[in-house]
């Protein structure tokens, strides 16, 4: 009898183990594996290259021994310190000018009955598409001290011998930088304003508040996190920019950090000095990120429901025309004038001969599209790499933003993840490229010379853009909506799929575009990491500008802009006309 009991117990015991395991597996939160994978990818993309930069900054180039000589060399000369000060001036001035440009335009398009919204919206999108260095080339043709079109026009109208405009100066560099960075402020601010209901504004108006006071005291504070995030990105974009300073600052005989770093890499390259020279910029990022969290942590900026309230445009009355004139003036500086002269140069036998009919030709475009194999290959590489990098960056940024805002890890670890996600933007693309070169040109990962090193570098370079956008979007969704799904028996993935994802569709699409477009025009990373087989259009553009071939440069740039517009129109077709921004009828 005891043998029968033992046999029955033995028969039951094996099935008990699978039952216990199955119950454990069924109650395990499968999303944990996704978060762990996202953290591992973040370490791979951000920490490893930055760690290599830190190590190299303390190493002797020959022996690898510990030394502080790199830091002494980086800050021992006054011209190196002047370049650092110039970068800070450029960042602060550009961010301030972007605020003046971007916030009024976002308010006018989102909250008012200003006419011509469609034209302004398309112009801003066109501004965002234009590579900053191509815009700089346009302004070289416009405001060059000798042959610039504006100076030539001023001389004709006034009869003086010399025009007043000189783009090769710090004010000129600030203007060009702001013209092609303010769309960040515009996109973030308008996306946030589109979520603000008119009910609170109506209440303020009933109590006697005017439109201006209501906007300053109620509407703008509600979108403060988006504005701060955009300003931080603009500041870091300005001090990390290479193409425009290389084209405008060097002829003007002054340096910023990125052009000084470029000189550090002249033969023989001073990699350790360059790494040491970039480290203070990382401290600036830490301070700005802390400041942003300090300001925004005291207020709540979430939507209590899945839908926004009714939004009605504010009637401007007679002020709608001055507002439209201001918007057109900004778009003229950033889009219309540069594109006119770029198109003229692309279609001209010699750009200096002007807009004469006998000067028109399609030879530049024909050669670029059909006869130049290098250009065709670079075009395919450009959009393939930028699209892949945008997918990686948005997916990783969404995971990190969700982890941080839903407190799936400890507060300190969450802050560290958020900082690591924002950190790459402060590293100039040249230095980031050197970090990738040092990290991934040796076993176990030999990526140099392949497409992957460019894709991963682009994804890392613009990860902060994706994170700032997705983080602001997730912060606007009250976690109680997901908690309700969990209480009703749904998993976290179910809550994300049924609640979070539909609310984030527009934000994620906008984040993809925000990463994809700068990815197509990224120069500072690509110029060090590309090879003959992986060359992209931005490198070709810079080479042509260095050669002084403005006609061919303009042709390549015009093709880049046209193809980028085509991709965005495909996005509009697939996801609607409000793919990137909410657009209302004019």
Closest CA to 175 of 123, 140, 125: 140
The predicted pLDDT at position 577 comes to 57
The domain total for the chain is 1
If one compares 294 and 232, the residue with the highest pLDDT of the two is 232
Q: Point out the least confidently predicted range of 268-272, 505-509, 568-572.
A: 568-572
Residue 584 in domain = no
Residue 23: pLDDT band with limits 50, 70, 90 = low
How many residues belong to the chain?
586
Exposure string over 492-502, b if 16+ CB within 10 A, otherwise e: beebbeebbee
Query: Taking the CB of residue 152, how many other CB atoms lie within 10 A of it?
Result: 16
pLDDT at residue 246 greater than cutoff 80? yes
pLDDT at residue 478 greater than cutoff 60? yes
The predicted pLDDT at position 94 comes to 96
If one compares 222 and 207, the residue with the highest pLDDT of the two is 222
pLDDT at residue 4 greater than cutoff 90? no
Here the CATH number for the domain that contains residue 223 is 1.10.3720.10
Residue 295: pLDDT band with limits 50, 70, 90 = low
The predicted pLDDT at position 304 comes to 43
202-212 mean pLDDT: 66
Residue 67 in domain = no
pLDDT at residue 137 greater than cutoff 60? yes
191-218 mean pLDDT: 70
The predicted pLDDT at position 20 comes to 61
End-to-end CA distance of the chain, in Å?
A: 90
Per the prediction, the chain carries an average pLDDT of 81
d(CA 262, CA 246): 9
- Maximum distance among all alpha carbons in the chain? 120
pTM: 0.78
Do residues 563 and 383 make contact, with C-beta atoms less than 8 angstroms apart? yes
The predicted pLDDT at position 533 comes to 86
Query: Taking the CB of residue 295, how many other CB atoms lie within 10 A of it?
Result: 12
432-453 mean pLDDT: 82
The predicted pLDDT at position 203 comes to 66
d(CA 227, CA 246): 29
Residue 225 in domain = yes
The predicted pLDDT at position 570 comes to 67
The predicted pLDDT at position 283 comes to 73
Per-residue pLDDT tens for 551-560? Answer: 888 898 888 8
d(CA 239, CA 91): 5
Per-residue pLDDT tens for 165-182? Answer: 999 999 999 999 999 999
Residue 328 in domain = yes
| 446 DSSP β-pair partners | 441
Residue 407: pLDDT band with limits 50, 70, 90 = confident
If one compares 584 and 298, the residue with the highest pLDDT of the two is 298
**Eight-class DSSP state of 359:** G
pLDDT at residue 491 greater than cutoff 80? no
Closest CA to 138 of 128, 146, 125, 150: 150
Per-residue pLDDT tens for 372-393? Answer: 888 888 888 998 999 999 999 9
Residue 11 in domain = no
Token output for 216 = 């300053």
Closest CA to 518 of 440, 464, 439: 464
Domain of 329 in residue numbering reads as 32-62+85-304+319-575
3-state class (DSSP) for residue 303: strand
If one compares 157 and 542, the residue with the highest pLDDT of the two is 157
Per-residue pLDDT tens for 306-323? Answer: 444 566 788 888 889 999
Residue 75 in domain = no
d(CA 39, CA 221): 33
552-570 mean pLDDT: 81
The predicted pLDDT at position 163 comes to 87
């Amino acid at each position: 009898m005891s043998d029968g009991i033992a046999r029955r117990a033995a028969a039951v015991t094996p099935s008990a183990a699978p039952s216990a395991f199955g119950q454990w597996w069924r109650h395990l939160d499968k999303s944990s594996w996704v978060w762990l994978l996202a953290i591992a990818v973040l370490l791979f993309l951000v920490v490893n290259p930055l760690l290599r930069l830190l190590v190299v900054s303390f190493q002797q180039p020959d022996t690898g021994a510990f030394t502080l000589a790199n830091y002494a060399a980086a800050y021992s000369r006054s011209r190196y310190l002047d370049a650092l000060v110039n970068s800070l001036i450029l960042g602060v001035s550009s961010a301030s000018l972007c605020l003046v440009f971007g916030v009024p335009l976002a308010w006018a398009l989102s909250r008012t009955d200003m006419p011509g919204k469609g034209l302004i919206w398309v112009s801003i999108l066109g501004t965002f598409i234009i590579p900053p260095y191509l815009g700089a080339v346009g302004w070289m043709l416009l405001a060059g001290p000798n042959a610039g079109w504006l100076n030539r026009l001023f001389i004709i109208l006034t009869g003086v011998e010399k025009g007043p405009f000189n783009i090769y100066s710090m004010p000129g560099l600030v203007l060009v930088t702001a013209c092609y960075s303010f769309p960040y402020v515009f996109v973030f601010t308008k996306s946030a304003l589109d979520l603000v209901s008119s009910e609170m504004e109506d209440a303020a108006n009933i109590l006697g508040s005017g439109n201006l006071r209501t906007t300053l005291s109620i509407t703008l504070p509600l979108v403060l996190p988006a504005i701060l995030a955009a300003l931080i990105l603009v500041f870091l974009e300005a001090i990390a920019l290479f193409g425009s300073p290389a084209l405008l600052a060097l002829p003007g005989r002054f340096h910023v950090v990125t052009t000084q770093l470029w000189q550090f890499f002249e033969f023989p390259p001073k990699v350790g000095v360059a790494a040491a020279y970039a480290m203070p910029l990382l401290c600036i990022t830490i301070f700005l990120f802390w400041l942003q969290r300090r300001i925004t942590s005291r207020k709540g900026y979430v939507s209590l429901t899945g839908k926004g309230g009714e939004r009605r445009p504010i009637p401007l009355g007679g002020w709608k025309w001055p507002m439209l004139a201001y918007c057109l003036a900004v778009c003229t500086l950033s889009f219309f004038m540069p594109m006119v002269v770029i198109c003229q140069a692309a279609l001209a036998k010699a750009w200096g001969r002007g807009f004469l009919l006998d000067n028109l030709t399609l030879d530049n475009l024909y050669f670029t599209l059909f006869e130049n194999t290098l250009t065709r290959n670079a075009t395919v590489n450009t959009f393939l790499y930028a699209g892949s990098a945008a997918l990686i960056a948005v997916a990783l940024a969404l995971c990190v933003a969700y982890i941080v805002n839903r407190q799936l890890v400890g507060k300190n670890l969450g802050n560290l993840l958020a900082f690591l996600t924002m950190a790459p933007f402060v590293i100039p693309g040249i230095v980031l490229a050197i970090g990738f070169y040092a990290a991934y040109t040796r076993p176990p990962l030999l990526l140099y010379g392949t497409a992957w090193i460019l894709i991963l570098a682009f994804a890392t370079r613009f990860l902060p853009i994706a994170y700032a956008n997705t983080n602001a979007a997730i912060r606007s969704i009250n976690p109680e909506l997901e908690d309700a799904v969990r209480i009703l028996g749904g998993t976290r993935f179910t809550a994300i799929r049924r609640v979070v994802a539909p609310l984030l569709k527009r934000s994620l699409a906008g984040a993809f575009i925000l990463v994809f477009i700068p990815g197509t025009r990224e120069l500072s990373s690509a110029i060090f990491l590309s090879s003959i087989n992986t060359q992209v259009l931005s490198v070709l553009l810079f080479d042509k500008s260095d050669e002084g071939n403005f006609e061919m440069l303009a042709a390549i740039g015009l093709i880049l802009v046209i193809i980028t517009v085509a991709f965005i129109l495909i996005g509009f077709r697939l996801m609607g006309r409000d793919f990137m921004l909410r657009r209302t009828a004019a």
